[in-house]
Amino acid sequence: MTATMTVTALLTTAQLLLVSVTLSHGAFSQDSPIDLIVLNSLENTNMTYSTTIAYRGILLGAMRRLQDAPNCFKFTTREDDNYGPFLVSVNGLAGNENDRTYWQLLAESNGTTIIPNVGVGCYIPKPGERIILKFTKY
Ligand code: B12
Ligand SMILES: *[C@@H]1O[C@H](CO)[C@@H](O)[C@H](O)[C@H]1NC(C)=O
Ligand SMILES: *[C@@H]1O[C@H](CO)[C@@H](O)[C@H](O)[C@H]1NC(C)=O
């Protein structure tokens, strides 16, 4: 009898914990699909890749997952003391100071394109957003 009550009490506590975790974190969400467009604005070429993003995950995670998958997407970053990873090259093409070229980060949704004010290590794509890595000049 007492044993049964203890078990019931324990179970209830476990269930309460699960409910409170679910409430504070939202449901245990699955990764969502995300499109990544690599655009070379100087040569007018583009490639679209599909990958997944974790619930409120950073863009860098989706890019690493894509790089590890069997396709041709490759990128390199350089660590900046203040702002984290700076996107140096995509698919072998690197920006450089002499030509004043770089990979710009853009995000497009509902036909509107924004320029995020953080880099790939901090940006959290919204569901349904298309991420554009655009090789361009500054
Ligand atoms: C100039 C500049 C650039 C130039 C740098 C190249 C150059 N040779 O000049 C260019 C145009 C390439 C650039 C790009 C971007 N930038 Co910028 N940039 C600046 C700016 C105006 C001055 C930096 C500087 O020269 N400091 C003086 C030198 C002596 O210090 P430094 O440490 O050597 O500076 C280097 C770093 O700042 C680095 N850098 C510049 N921008 C960024 C962005 C990120 C994410 C990283 C990791 C490093 C980095 O490049 C500088 C030169 O080597 C600052 C704002 C400011 N007033 O400080 C924004 C700033 C640093 N940039 C910012 C951003 C968001 C970007 C972009 C992500 C924008 C985008 N959406 O594409 C991209 C980077 C994309 C990528 N490839 O990863 C933000 C970073 C904020 C944050 N918490 O992440 C800042 C603070 C401006 C803002 N919007 O608030 N940027
Ligand atoms: C991508 O390239 C195709 C042709 O290959 C072109 O029709 C399309 O407009 C390009 N998209 C962007 C965003 O530049
Ligand atoms: C895009 O539109 C949908 C539906 O109108 C909306 O729910 C969503 O928040 C919008 N996205 C952005 C980034 O504004």
What are the boundaries of each domain within the chain? Answer: 1-29, 31-137
Q: Evaluate: CB of 116 within 6 angstroms of ligand 1.
A: yes
pLDDT at position 71 is 82
Q: What's the CA-to-centroid distance between 82 and ligand 1, angstroms?
A: 10
b/e map of 120-133 (b: 16 or more CB within 10 Å)? bbebebeeebebbb
Instruction: Kindly compute the dihedral angle of the four CA atoms of residues 74, 82, 61, 77, in this order, to the nearest 10 degrees.
Output: 10
Q: Evaluate: CB of 74 within 6 angstroms of ligand 3.
A: no
Q: What's the CA-to-centroid distance between 2 and ligand 2, angstroms?
A: 71
pLDDT at position 30 is 82
Strand partners, 33: 52
Topology of the domain comprising 31-137: Ferric Hydroxamate Uptake Protein; Chain A, domain 1 (2.170.130)
pLDDT at position 4 is 54
The stretches in the chain having pLDDT less than 50 are none
